[in-house]
A and B are shown apart, each in its own frame.
Chain A
C-alpha cells in the first residue's frame, strides 16, 4: 500500500517543482519586460497565466485524492498540507507576475524615464527568493528557508526606500506622475512576491520541523 502512496507523492513532488520553475520563469520574464520595455515578453507572460492556473487546480486535486485514499500521517501528511499551501502561494506569485507584465506593457508604450532607485536590485532579490524557496522545498533545506525569511526584511527595507525616493521624484518631476505610479506598482508587486516566497519558506520549515513558524518573525537563527 505504501508503494502506491509513495508513487503518487513522488509525482506530486515533481508537479509542484515544475510549477515552481514555471512561476520563477514568469517572474523573470515579467521583470525583464519592465526593465527592457519589451511588450512581446509582457504579452507572453499574460497569456501564460492560464497554464499556471491549470497546474494549480491539478495539484490541488491530486492532494485531495492522496488525503482521501491513503489517510497519510506524520511527514506524509505534513507534505500534502505544505504542498496545498505552497500551491496557492505559487499561483499568487504567478498572478503578481502578470500584474508586473501589465505594468511593463504600459511603460513600454511610454517614453523612457529615469528610475531613481535600484529597481534591478529589488527584481533580483525577488527572483532569488522565489528560486531559493523552490530549492528549499526540493532539498528540505531549513537553513535556506530561514535565510529567505531574513531576505524578506531586506526587501521590505528596499520597498520603503523606493517609496521615499519616489515621493521625492513626484515633488521634483510632477509631469511623469503616471509612469512613476506604474513603477511604484511594480515595486509593490515585487514586495508581495517576496512575501509569498517567504510563506513558501515557512511552509518548508513546517514540513521538515513540524513547527508552524508564521507570525513569529524573531524565531530563527542564522
Chain B
C-alpha cells in the first residue's frame, strides 16, 4: 500500500515491515501493515485512539512479547535481520532499538544511576566509562547543563519535562540506532513539549526516529514522513508536507481536518 516512490531513489530503509498482522488473542489489531522507515529521518504515526499505531510501534522492539497470547504474523526486518525469526536475541534487539514512553518513568534512583542503568545491565562496570556515557547521553538529550551539578540527586525531583528528557538520555545510553517514541510529549506543558520537539529535531541527524502522536500539529512540525493508521490498517504514508497539504486518501483528509477522530 505504500509506494517506494515517495522516498528519494537511494534512500536507505533501516526498518522494513511487510504484511504485518498482529493479534491480541483472537482479536486482530493490525492488518497487513507494510511500512518502510527511512534511516535518520523522523517518521510520525498518526491516527485516532485505538487505530493500532502504538501496537505497531511496540512490535518494532518486540515489547508486545510481554503481552500474553499475542501473536505477530508477517515480517519485520531491522538492519536486514528478521526480528521475529526464531532464535533472535531480544536483548540485542532492544539495545539497537530504544524506546521512550508516554508517561515518563524514571527509576527512583539518582539521575546518574538512571542513565547508567542500561549500560550496567549490559555489563559495563568501569566507572570512568560509565561517567563518560552518562555525560554524553545527558548532553545528547539536552539536559546536561541542568543536572550536571546534581547527578546524584533523586531523579523523581525533576520536573515532568526534565524527567522525560532524562528518559530519553537513559534510552540513548545503550547506544541504539533507532528511537521509538510513544507520545513522548502528551503529558507535558507547551514549553516542555517544545523542548522535546526541538530535541527530536537535533537527534534526527544521528538517529532514526519513529514517533507516535495524537497531536497532528506536532506530527506536522516534527516529522519528515507521516503514516496514517485507522482501525488497524495503514491508510496512507507520504512526506509530511504532502500529507498536510494534499493527502491522497479522503479518510486521511477527514482525519487531519478534524472531520472525525
Which A residues have a C-beta under 8 Å from some C-beta of B?
A: 1-2, 5, 71-78, 210
Contact = CB atoms under 8 A, between A and B. Distances in A.
B45 to A, nearest CB: 17
Interface in B225-257: 243-247, 253, 256-257
Nearest to B247: A74
Given A5-B258, A74-B257, 7 more contacts: A2-B259, A74-B243, A74-B246, A74-B247, A75-B257, A78-B245, A210-B245
Contacts of B216: 73
A2 B217 contact: no
B256 A73 contact: yes
Nearest to B258: A2
6 contacts: A5-B258, A73-B245, A74-B253, A75-B257, A76-B257, A210-B245
A68 to B, nearest CB: 13
A74 B252 CA distance: 10
Contacts of A71: 217
B158 interface: no
Interface string B68-80: 0000000000000
Contacts of A210: 245-246
B220 interface: yes
Interface of B: 216-217, 220, 243-247, 253, 256-259
Interface of B is mostly: helix
B183 to A, nearest CB: 19
A17 B198 CA distance: 42
B257 A72 contact: yes
A119 to B, nearest CB: 42
Contacts of A76: 257
B246 A2 contact: no
Contacts, number: 31
A72 B256 CA distance: 9
Contacts of B245: 73-74, 77-78, 210
Nearest to A72: B257
Nearest to A209: B246
Q: Is the interface of A mostly helix, strand, loop or mixed?
A: helix
A10 B236 CA distance: 28
A210 B244 CA distance: 12
Contact of B253 (A1, A5, A75): A75
A204 to B, nearest CB: 15
Contacts of B217: 71
A131 B216 CA distance: 38
A202 B53 CA distance: 38
A71 to B, nearest CB: 6
A72 B257 CA distance: 7
Can you list the 4 inter-chain pairs with the closest CB atoms, starting with the nearest? A2-B258, A210-B246, A73-B244, A74-B253
A1 B247 CA distance: 21
Contacts of B243: 74
B198 to A, nearest CB: 19
Contacts of A5: 258
Nearest to B256: A73
A176 B86 CA distance: 97
Identify which of A71, A73, A78 gathers the most chain B CB atoms within 10 Å of its CB: A73
B2 to A, nearest CB: 19
Contacts of B244: 73-74, 77
B230 to A, nearest CB: 16
Contacts of B257: 2, 72-76
A161 B246 CA distance: 42
A105 to B, nearest CB: 46
A76 B255 CA distance: 12
Nearest to A71: B217
A72 B259 CA distance: 12
Nearest to A70: B258
Contacts of A73: 216, 220, 244-245, 256-257
A1 B217 CA distance: 14
A75 B246 CA distance: 7
A1 B258 contact: yes
Given A71-B217, A73-B216, A73-B220, A78 B258 contact: no
Nearest to A211: B246
Nearest to A76: B257
